[in-house]
Amino acid sequence: MPHRYIKKILDAKVYDVAIETPLEDAHLLSHRFHNHVMLKREDLQPVFSFKLRGAYNKLAQLSEAQKATGVIAASAGNHAQGLALAAKKLGIKATIVMPQTTPEIKVNSVKAKGAKVVLKGDAFDEAAAHAAKLVEEKGYVYIPPFDDEDVIAGQGTVGMEIMWQHTSPIHAVFVPVGGGGLIAGVAAYIKYLRPDVKVIGVEPEDSDCLNAALKAGRRAKLKEVGIFADGVAVRQIGKLPWDICKDHVDEVITVSTDEICAAIKDVFEDTRSIAEPAGALSVAGLKKYVGREHIQDENLVAIVSGANMNFDRLGYITERTEVGEEREAILAVKIPERPGSFKRFIQALSKRNITEFNYRYSNPEEAQIFVGVQIREGEFERQELVEALEKHDLPVLDLTDNEMAKMHIRHMVGGHSPNLSNEKVFRFEFPERPGSLMKFLMSLGARWNISMFHYRNHGAAYSRVLMGAQVEDKDLKEFKQMLDKVGFRYWEETDNPAYRLFLGA
């Protein structure tokens, strides 16, 4: 199967508009992890993403009649920008259907490159359905983001460049995975030329469509996908990429949101460039692989696939980075409400720095504090810290991996309500656009009293809400049926220990 792609990759027409990006030494990462780490800088492309390669190569293969008809794609980001620039370069009219939740910076970027933008739906699937409808009505040529031989061949030129830029042995190349176009092209070329080089895919834990397919032995469709790394938020690996990946990808590593945030910081410290979450995936996977395999003095390549970052997401990323680097522990600690207790708590920390401290008086017997503590040796030191506090008779609960605690509780530690009964707590995600919060509130109806509400948006296409409502146990099933009709993703958090400790009745 890959043999057919080799000629296509070698003949790919990408350099009329794309550049040969550098393979740069990452000196700080190399020093920290005792390996020679190199970054393939696809974030330096004219559209700040590798997507330009595949889009241009596909357009260059069209007949004159197809070019005259015009092209269309559904995309929320990098494919849209790559196709818009490629179409402009070739003088082809392009229409891009984007979800209404697409950040304005991306919409404006596509328009600035001369493409027509149509906003439709809250998510990619709705945009794609509308694009398919326009294909039928107008006769446009649809340009897939990944499930196409010419697109895969265009992306495969990334692997071709890596091979000629570093001719010495390479232990592994780490590739971010969304629909699979990039990793398919890279794997096809590298495994044909140098089969000893490992090709390792990296996916978010909550958007691991290739990982799921490899486990099942066939393409599998995820029920839901995470939204943080929106550039790889794909429910199912492409059919053509799967035909290559199932035989030529060595493994897939999955990483958490916190690990992605830490990788964004790593890329910045080595390059002074800010990668988007999908763009930093490969670095997060590389770090995890080195930690697992304990390898040293190997040549490792990570593809930094894009840098289309919304500026207002940086605050959230900074907030999560220390946990992702395993340099911060988030703890709930119970101390007696009497003089000298705080001093005893500080002594138990053994000169570790406090990064955050939240407390509100609740009762005269004991104080429940929410605290962030700086650590240096990851999970081992975290456990050591918990044991030290417990030895000082300070009961502690480790919340470092508790999503609700990190997303909401740390911003709203305000105490318990003495007059509250039958509170049920739910965490929501809903599309972010003008009026969406009002629509969310109005759709809840008026039967149940809202007892707590915390709303956060950090520049992503979706916002997060933590909500409490007074619902008697006998009515809980009916309440959840109402939430199902509202249609937003939700999780019940009534039994979450962070809620119980800091906010519960």
Q: Are strands 172-176 and 299-304 parallel, antiparallel or unpaired?
A: parallel
Residue with tokens 């809840």: 444
CA atoms of 97 and 95, how far apart (whole Å): 7
Distance set, CA 455 to CA 318, 366, 437, 458 (Å): 19, 29, 9, 10
Under 8 Å between Cβ of 17 and 85: yes
Pairing of the two strands 462-470 and 116-119:
unpaired
CA-CA distance, 296 to 355, in Å (whole number)? Answer: 32
Catalytic annotation, pick one of 49, 75, 109, 305:
305
Segments of 325-448 assigned E as strands:
328-336, 354-359, 366-374, 396-398, 423-431
Fill in the DSSP letter of residue 49.
Answer: B
CA distance 241 to 210: 10
Describe the strand order of the beta sheet including 328-336 as a list of residue ranges: 354-359, 366-374, 328-336, 396-398
- Whole-angstrom CA distances from 404 to 137, 409, 432, 454 are 46, 6, 19, 11
Cα 505 to Cα 54, 395, 415, 436, 452, distances in angstroms:
55, 20, 9, 30, 11
Q: What angle do CA 45, 48, 52 make, to 5 degrees?
A: 60
Q: How many CB atoms lie within 10 A of CB 319?
A: 18
**Is 51 labeled as catalytic in the residue annotation?**
yes
**Which are the contacts of 133, defined by CB distance < 8 A and separation ≥ 6?**
none
Distance from C-alpha of 201 to C-alpha of 14, rounded to nearest angstrom: 23
Judge whether 341 counts as a catalytic residue. Answer: no
Q: Of 13, 40, 51, 106, which is the active-site residue?
A: 51
Catalytic residue set: 51, 305
